[in-house]
Amino acid sequence: MDIERLKVVFKSIYYNDPLVVRSPGRINIIGEHTDYNGGFVMPAAINKAIYLGVSKREDDEIHLYAEDFKQTHTSNISSLESSKKGWPNYILGVADQLQKRGYKIGGFNLYIDGDVPPGAGLSSSAAVECATAFALDQLFSLSISKLDMALIAQKAEHTFAGVNCGIMDQFASVFGKKDQAIVLDCRSMDYRYVPLQLDGHKLVLLNTNVKHSLSESAYNKRRESCEQGVAWIKEAHPSVETLRDVDLAMLDEYVKPKDTDVYTKCKFIVGEIARLIEAATDLEHGKLKELGALMFETHQGLRNEYEVSCKELDFLVDSVKGLDYVLGARMMGGGFGGCTLNIVATEYIDELIENISETYFKEFSVKLDAYIVETADGTSEIV
């Protein structure tokens, strides 16, 4: 990203100099849909990020400009409402949350640019939210902790974007560390960094360039299924709070007789939480083949049990399964489109991308994009 250009453009729009903040997108090695079930996740921040320029205003107005859409939006801190344009909500939602929590902010100018491809499942929206929380914290000297920034960003997504997401994306954007994956316990919010040593392999993202429209409503529906399963078990076991507290025997006894679909969804989550614990040990011991095999298992579960995959994602995972230079592959994030994450032996990456781009285009008449990603540090000011 050309930061000097960002500053020049900012000044040409708002006539003053910006504070510049960078907040990264994320990948998730394993542990999908486990965050809102009190389980574990294993994300890492990546070297694709959202960049914000911000400055204070004398009045209470909020003036926004999004480079991607070449669109402006104006609002006022005393009357914040979600916008049909979509993109302003990630900023307005954060401004709203800050005020609801008693933080005093004034009007501000804000300019967004970045290189996180939207709709690719790399959490560009969380990156915008976290960048906004960080920028407003700096601008108005609010002294917000990093964890609260992530929580405020998450709440903004619930209230202004309407997605009842877990904490993974915002946590990864704020707490990311170069060369490290984060093992986060989403119940206690305890976390540790695990070195991402891939021993001659790299992380390759294959972007389907599709995003099926049901993704947001389906996400909230999956979450409701999990909560329903917990509610039925809770009748007999009042101490159960989330699927983290549940085992297969409980699912068989209290959920299966009531609803097989809810049962199947809950069963995937219970299995995925266990899979992540195994995967974290594998990564810590350099057992990459074993970790890769678990990633393939996760994909199968997301496809057949949790039902959040799609034919484009399945095609990409099926195409690399069996290639001995691809250790693991799976769909990533909420689902219904976006990227697959692949662990690929470095010397075969070009060959893989060339072949799969061709077969993918033949199958779907859609261009595939591929990114070799590095891990990166979390949200920070660029000075």
List active site positions. Answer: 169
The Cα 63–Cα 108 span in angstroms is 6
Question: 66: which residues sit within 8 A by CB, 6+ positions away?
Answer: 73, 87, 88, 112
Cβ 163 to ligand GAF, closest distance in Å? Answer: 7
Centre a 10 Å sphere on the Cβ of residue 362 and count the other Cβ atoms it contains: 8
The Cα 30–Cα 50 span in angstroms is 23
* Alpha carbon of residue 144 to chain centroid: 22
Beta-bridge partners for 109: 55, 63
Residue 33 makes contact with ligand GAF by CB under 6 A: yes
Cβ 276 to ligand GAF, closest distance in Å? Answer: 11
Question: 315: which residues sit within 8 A by CB, 6+ positions away?
Answer: 360, 363, 364
Cβ 2 to ligand GAF, closest distance in Å? Answer: 28
The Cα 204–Cα 108 span in angstroms is 38
Closer to ligand GAF by Cβ: residue 29 or 356: 29
Cβ atoms 299, 306 nearer than 8 A = no
Residue 272 makes contact with ligand GAF by CB under 6 A: no
15 is in an annotated binding site: no
Cβ atoms 294, 205 nearer than 8 A = no
Cβ 134 to ligand GAF, closest distance in Å? Answer: 18
125 is in an annotated binding site: yes
Residue 232, H or E segment: helix 215-236
325 is in an annotated binding site: no
Cβ 167 to ligand GAF, closest distance in Å? Answer: 6
Near ligand GAF in 113-132, by CB under 6 A: 123
Exactly one of 23, 32, 315, 329 binds ligand GAF (CB under 6 A); that residue is 32
Residue 49 makes contact with ligand GAF by CB under 6 A: no
208 is in an annotated binding site: no
Near ligand GAF in 149-168, by CB under 6 A: 165-166, 168
Residue 35 makes contact with ligand GAF by CB under 6 A: yes
Cβ atoms 373, 49 nearer than 8 A = no
The Cα 76–Cα 61 span in angstroms is 4
121 is in an annotated binding site: yes
32 is in an annotated binding site: yes
Cβ atoms 121, 333 nearer than 8 A = yes
Exactly one of 129, 169, 272, 305 binds ligand GAF (CB under 6 A); that residue is 169
157 is in an annotated binding site: yes
CA proximity to 328, closest of 346, 340, 315, 339: 340
Closer to ligand GAF by Cβ: residue 220 or 359: 220
Closer to ligand GAF by Cβ: residue 18 or 114: 114
Closer to ligand GAF by Cβ: residue 35 or 96: 35
The Cα 60–Cα 260 span in angstroms is 52
Cβ 151 to ligand GAF, closest distance in Å? Answer: 12
Near ligand GAF in 319-348, by CB under 6 A: 333-334
Q: One-letter amino acid identity for 38?
A: G
Binding residues: 32-35, 119-125, 157, 219
Footprint on this chain of ligand GAF (rule: CB under 6 A): 32-33, 35-36, 123, 165-166, 168-169, 333-334
Binding residues for ATP: 119-125
